[in-house]
Structure 1
């Protein structure tokens, strides 16, 4: 275990340059005292590792010192092939490059590790888009990706939900989320998110830009996602759910809605339970989400949402007419609906 940790510390120092003891402790999941002992052990073995004091201090290797570290464990070799995502690589124009790199890596692996790499590719597959949704193929994805890599400014014509806009953007990074590509771009000093499928035109400029030294793409995306989720569902509704309604809510709601939902443990005499659910910014938005639950949900609060749901139900009843006498609400109606849909497909 210690030998593996010493090797990990050495590769980290070689890859990152200066690293603090706390960062090493976090990476290795050990105490600071353990890291101090490991650093002493590396130095005692002849590795030129030095410490620098101060706010910008940490540990580093002697300038120019390199060590060849070719040893891979079986699990490490397997994980490298799991990281080869064919779909996103193809979208970025890197499918052939990735395939060549994997072939070279396979050839470089010892014979006893190749079987594990083959097994990983055969048994794991990433399908990025959500269910019943196709992956986007934005027209300007490769141009934007090239600008991200080369740090060239881009000029885009963008269709937001409000209006069409013209922007000069410093492209900082790309994110693939549920089959859709997004650009984190800096405009007038602020970092904003653009869905690449909504970029109508893209021109890569000759001018370059400097990346903000403190910009972390992963941290930005997490914070941006949390902010967006909070903005889209800032209100709460109290809803009475049937047992089937609870299951429908779990199946149809977005993850952040499910995470924020609180369902009472106790049920009433009919088996229904009261839940508090995050809902949208407007009554219309909230009703549109809750109407998917049909008659398996009853809004209790707020009053304006309950009134809207009542009017929506009245309008639906008027549009579809009287319920057929030979059908009962529930499994019989579901079976008839399924038969009707089957006839329609034929």
Structure 2
């Protein structure tokens, strides 16, 4: 608590000709004596500041001295305003703290930077969950987050289908994806992800968590998602695609499934490609979105399925 107050005092004094101790005390909701103690502590830490008594006096910083925070650019301060995603802060139990931190930062910044940052805060709102999603139970998230940040082990009761199992985990990080929170943790030396909404009970243990050397949360999550996507692709087919269909293929079947090398273009400029998709019914729906720019070569069952979709559309719209 005191450390944040010391930083706030330092930032409020930057670029000013001095502020009275009484005004600082009123703004920080502390006593004047506390302000003087804080000023002494900052001076002892090497911040060039002093106090002057009498009319026009107050607490001052050495002319021209700036902290690293005070030298931030407008773009940097605007970026800080984007960190306070309300839904994420609220899930973590930190909404009030995040709001207070933003307000303190705004008050401490020089006026031009304050205006730029305020514009971003007032004109951008991030609603992380998608439409029509029911609220998920994230009541255990603050305890899970505390264990992640403090590097302590967790004992959880985790629900999978109709079964609940108790596991002791070494937490490695948290991921928020489309409004869903995941705990990334090690269980018996295997790194896995767990939906926080499926954690029914959680106990933060006194034991330190084991963390693999050089573990990169973002890279692990990206690799894990790609591996999961690839594991779903089990249905093989061969198709011809027009140039337009080839360009739109990632939108139709997904980026991972579209990572294929096409054959050379034929006389019509079309490409022949081998695809691996989830299942035949999924392939039918995905390839239908390409309209007349796709021709299924094999298997014949998929070719007939697309013909059936086209015939049905003609009957209903003819």
Q: TM-score range by the shorter chain?
A: 0.5 to 0.7
SS of aligned partner of 2:175: strand
Hey, what does 2:32 align to over in structure 1? none
Distance of aligned partners of 1:299 and 1:196 in 2 relative to their CA distance in 1, 3 Å threshold: farther
Hey, what does 2:55 align to over in structure 1? none
Q: TM-score, normalised by structure 1?
A: 0.58
Unpaired runs of 5+ residues, structure 1, are 1-66, 329-346
Q: Distance in 2 between matches of 1:238 and 1:143?
A: 50
Q: Does 1:300 align with 2:297?
A: yes
Distance of aligned partners of 1:255 and 1:86 in 2 relative to their CA distance in 1, 3 Å threshold: farther
Are the counterparts in 2 of residues 147 and 153 from structure 1 also a CA contact under 8 Å?
yes
SS of aligned partner of 2:148: helix
Shift of 1:183: 0.9
Moved more, 223-232 or 177-186: 223-232
CA RMSD, 1 decimal: 3.7
What's the CA shift string for 1:26-77, capped at 9, x where partnerless? Answer: xxxxxxxxxxxxxxxxxxxxxxxxxxxxxxxxxxxxxxxxx95332122221
Hey, what does 1:151 align to over in structure 2? 151
In the alignment of these two chains, the number of paired residues is 247
Larger radius of gyration: 2
Distance of aligned partners of 1:177 and 1:189 in 2 relative to their CA distance in 1, 3 Å threshold: same
Distance of aligned partners of 1:244 and 1:161 in 2 relative to their CA distance in 1, 3 Å threshold: farther
Shift of 1:286: 4.4
Q: Distance in 2 between matches of 1:162 and 1:197?
A: 14
Shift of 1:235: 6.1
- Among 308, 311, 315, the residue aligned to 1:323: 315
Q: Distance in 2 between matches of 1:251 and 1:321?
A: 22
Shift of 1:272: 6.5
SS of aligned partner of 2:257: helix
SS of aligned partner of 2:186: strand
Are the counterparts in 2 of residues 262 and 277 from structure 1 also a CA contact under 8 Å?
no
Hey, what does 2:275 align to over in structure 1? 277
Unpaired runs of 5+ residues, structure 2, are 1-65
Identify which of structures 1 and 2 has the higher relative contact order when contacts are C-alpha pairs closer than 8 Å and 6+ apart.
Answer: 2
SS of aligned partner of 2:231: helix
Shift of 1:126: 3.4
Q: Does 1:76 align with 2:68?
A: no
Hey, what does 2:184 align to over in structure 1? 184
SS of aligned partner of 1:239: strand
Hey, what does 1:21 align to over in structure 2? none
Hey, what does 1:134 align to over in structure 2? 133
Q: Does 1:287 align with 2:284?
A: no
Distance of aligned partners of 1:135 and 1:93 in 2 relative to their CA distance in 1, 3 Å threshold: farther
Q: TM-score, normalised by structure 2?
A: 0.63
Q: Does 1:198 align with 2:198?
A: yes
Are the counterparts in 2 of residues 239 and 275 from structure 1 also a CA contact under 8 Å?
yes
Shift of 1:213: 5.2
Distance of aligned partners of 1:266 and 1:72 in 2 relative to their CA distance in 1, 3 Å threshold: same
Shift of 1:278: 3.6
Distance of aligned partners of 1:252 and 1:96 in 2 relative to their CA distance in 1, 3 Å threshold: farther
Pairs within 5 Å for 1:1-346: 68-70=67-69, 71-129=71-129, 132=131, 134=133, 137-139=136-138, 140-160=140-160, 164-199=164-199, 201-212=200-211, 214=213, 215-233=215-233, 236-241=236-241, 249-258=249-258, 260-262=259-261, 266=265, 274-280=272-278, 285-294=279-288, 296=291, 297-301=294-298, 303=299, 306-307=300-301, 310=304, 323-324=315-316, 327-328=317-318
Q: Distance in 1 between matches of 2:260 and 2:167?
A: 38
SS of aligned partner of 1:255: coil
SS of aligned partner of 1:256: coil
Moved more, 172-181 or 247-256: 247-256
